[in-house]
Amino acid sequence: MRNRIIAAVLVISFVSVFVPTILHAESQAQTTSNLTTWGAPDLQGVWDFRSITPMERPDGLADKEFLTEEEAANLEQETLERNQALLDRSAERTEATESVDRGENGAPGFYNNFWLDRGTTTVETRRTSLIVDPYNGKFPALTTAAEEKQTNARKDREGVTTHAPTYGGWVEDLGANGLQLRCITGFNSGPPMTPGGYNNNVQLFQTPQYVALLNEMNHNVRIIPLDGRPEIGLRQWAGESHGYWEGGTLVVETSNFLRETSFASGQTDENLMLVERFTRSEFGTLSYEVIIDDPTVWSRPWTYEVPMALNDQSLFEYACHEGNYGLENILAGARLEENEGAAK
């Protein structure tokens, strides 16, 4: 009996003394595992930013900021059922439309739905829009100059198909979504990055002095210095980026854009000021918050958020049409249409 009491006391002593130490050590290991060898937050990996949550809140949801669990589940189930229906439907011979995105009878367009990869889930918060500011989940009002520019663009492009350049617009006006069609930038790489039809992955690399963002779409690489160097003022398609750490958050500020980017269907211009914030909230999630400030386009700055999920696969090659017959055929077709118009 006495031996049992001694054994019990020893067990209690071990639990009270050593188990807290072990748990603390495990906690410390989990904390330090999210740090690089030089002590910075470790954001490296391939990050997937697919989402069926729209950028803007749908009109029918008015002031509804979040979906209920049931509403989110229903939306996700509808997405799965639509994908399956498109997969199982009989082959059809159909007329080509002007868009890869919109076809006949609910089909995606030029592409079979097999090639699209928009995701099947909403964001974890079940927000009704990626836009978090303004509160209504909508783009802010356009400036007067931006409204006039859009009105004139619609007039100039009357009768022009979605991916064709505006008549005579071989350099300055590539047409709606022209940057990605010409393989200059990817349609979801921006900057900033937004969920799109496919290729929704970015790989993040770190050194003590730099961060690099490699987008799957078009393999665009943004090299971001962290050493506080001054801007050089060289305008580029992806702008000029500089980064710094704010606690556990990587902040990337970008300006000096050449002209529009592929973001928001090319609405932005060279005056865009971009602030991106990357925060690893847990091991498998990277929060991506973006503040858009383009005073010649929108009446006020606005913000959207996208949670990125750690992808256990590496990036696969995305090959755009440069180097084959895509661009030649686009230009030849546009020239033919111009000649036919002149003849009429």
148 part of a folded domain: yes
* Mean pLDDT (whole number) for 159-163: 75
Average pLDDT of the segment spanning 10-38: 51
Q: Say which residue, 34 or 334, is predicted with more confidence.
A: 34
Identify whether 282 is part of a domain.
Answer: yes
In a domain, 78, yes or no: no
**Range 74-102 average pLDDT:** 79
The model carries a pTM of 0.83
Q: Are 333 and 165 in contact (CB under 8 A)?
A: no
Q: Does residue 265 have a pLDDT over 80?
A: yes
Residue 118 domain-assigned (yes or no): no
For the chain, the domain total comes to 1
In-domain check, residue 79: no
The pLDDT-based confidence of 218 (bands split at 50, 70, 90) is confident
Does pLDDT of 323 surpass 50? yes
The verdict on residue 329 lying in a domain is no
Residue 231 placed within a domain = yes
Which range marks the domain in which residue 162 is found? 48-67+124-311
Q: How far apart are the first and last CA of the chain?
A: 110
**201-206/285-293 β-pairing:** unpaired
pLDDT at 31 over 70: no
Residue 87 lies in a domain: no
pLDDT attached to residue 339: 85
